[in-house]
Chain A
């Protein structure tokens, strides 16, 4: 019985004390040295009302009771620029990327316009990634690409976000390669979700989740940077999934980068085993200069701090040096995106 209550007390403490309540802005610290400029390249903003009902139910089931009964306000507060800034301050994250998403049948919609509106609330701390809606691509391609170019014209919008599994299109479908063409022309990296996903409405077929199916596009567009998000982690079966395929692509193609968001979270990897394994393999293969930090927050109050802490643990287990930690947390991002440090 006591065992069952311990998480209650722990999580209560986390909820009440960790997020938002901490007015100081501590830096991340690794090996007793500060990492003052940490950047999180994977944060979601948006509106609860634009998330499909089944996904709302899934998300609500992750909220503590009684917030699960009326999750809209907590979700909207958490996903707002203000809520995200609070979490960044608590976690020691200096800057972050907010993502647009067009996945009406799975995780919902965050329009480019909404993303831009949110980053403009703190342009000194936010960047944005734009996206496209692919549901009516054969009829809508030109309009979607024009919308993408328009969003990319904003000085703070520095990347493109795609999620084949959430948006239901195959990684090796050449009809969508025009997106990579636009990215190459604009010298804008493309972030791609790889691996399965727990959200209702997600397509978990190999061609939607396995980065190996991106190889044709990666080789065809050498000027375009491809960032493989989540490292192919299998969020349904909670194992390393197609990690080795991601590493293999990064070894063979200089335009491939790696991002380990969400895979190391308490829910996906409770012991931190797979996160440490991924960082160890990346170090073994000499790919730390291709590794960029992201968390996939804000999720719930306190998530950013928790994920950063789990990342520091995984880096220690993988025997990262301080220089490698700095490369992971901001130097690689600054170099790839050409932003000021």
Chain B
């Protein structure tokens, strides 16, 4: 895992430049805590992050995003990512995870900045310990991973020109199982229009 993050850091450092739109987000809540970064220019961006649920389930990912809509007040982003999940405890499991996401953010440069994120996840899980209970491996194949369809709704409150404090709620199953709604509070950058970035010397 450490090699993965080292490679990721090198990738970012090589693609980042003064004109990049580098955005950070850190969040904490119940049950998720995480950190995310986006870096890119024009309409393409790299993304990476790590999240943990109660420090028993860890999800790390790296991906690519494009801006379907790049407006001074609206952004719609479409992305894909790949990563790794490791969950410890009585339901110990690990494996690769892929995700598709679409995100809409509306920033009128006023106090309130709403955001909606939809994610479709596929997790090819295997047990960490053997024996697990009987069903995990039996039901998972390339075409039948554990699925999770998540919607996150956040309302960011502007803190100066560059930052938002954003309470958010996340709904949707985890590994195909019912999950109680997650709540979080995040500190994150406001977005900048890509065309503005491109003109920056």
Contacts and interface: CB of A to CB of B under 8 A. Distances in A.
Contacts of B133: 54-55, 57-58, 61, 200
Interface stretch (B42-50, B103-111, B167-175): B167-175
A57 B178 contact: no
A75 to B, nearest CB: 10
Contact of B90 (A1, A8, A56): A56
Contacts of A15: 180
Interface string A186-226: 00000000000000100000000000000000000000000
Interface in B153-201: 171-175, 177-182
Given A8-B173, A54-B131, A66 B90 contact: no
B54 A53 contact: no
A68 B151 CA distance: 20
A60 B175 contact: no
Contact of A8 (B31, B87, B179): B179
B174 to A, nearest CB: 4
Contacts of A7: 178
A53 B90 contact: yes
A296 B175 CA distance: 27
Contacts of B175: 65
B91 interface: yes
B135 interface: yes
Chain A: interface residue count, which band?
20 to 34
Given A60-B90, A66-B179, A69-B56, A4 B172 contact: yes
B53 A66 contact: yes
Interface in B123-150: 131-135, 149
A64 interface: yes
B31 A66 contact: yes
B169 to A, nearest CB: 11
Contacts of B86: none
A64 B53 CA distance: 13
A12, A54, A68, most chain B CB atoms within 10 A: A68
Given A4-B172, A57-B132, A66-B53, A12 B91 contact: no
A68 B134 contact: no
Contacts of B31: 65-66, 69
Contact of A11 (B30, B54, B178): B178
Contacts of B90: 53, 56-57, 60, 71
Contacts of A53: 90
Contacts of A71: 90
A65 B173 contact: yes
Interface residues of B, number: 29
A68 B91 contact: yes
Interface in A1-49: 1, 4-5, 7-9, 11-12, 15
B103 to A, nearest CB: 15
Nearest to B53: A66
A69 B131 contact: no
Contacts of A12: 180-181
B56 to A, nearest CB: 4
A237 interface: no
A64 B172 CA distance: 11
Nearest to A67: B180
B31, B53, B91, B174, most chain A CB atoms within 10 A: B91
Contact of A5 (B30, B53, B91, B172): B172
A59 B177 CA distance: 13
Nearest to A72: B90
Contacts of B89: 60, 69-70
A299 to B, nearest CB: 14
Contacts of A8: 171-173, 178-179, 181
B57 interface: yes
Given A54-B132, A64-B177, A5 B171 contact: yes
B91 A61 contact: yes
6 contacts: A54-B134, A55-B133, A64-B178, A65-B173, A67-B180, A71-B90
Closest 5 CB pairs of A and B: A65-B179, A66-B31, A57-B133, A65-B174, A58-B133
Interface of B: 30-31, 53-54, 56-57, 87, 89-91, 118, 131-135, 149, 151, 171-175, 177-182
Given A8-B171, A65-B180, 14 more contacts: A4-B173, A5-B151, A8-B181, A9-B171, A53-B90, A57-B90, A60-B90, A61-B133, A61-B135, A64-B178, A66-B30, A66-B180, A69-B53, A70-B89
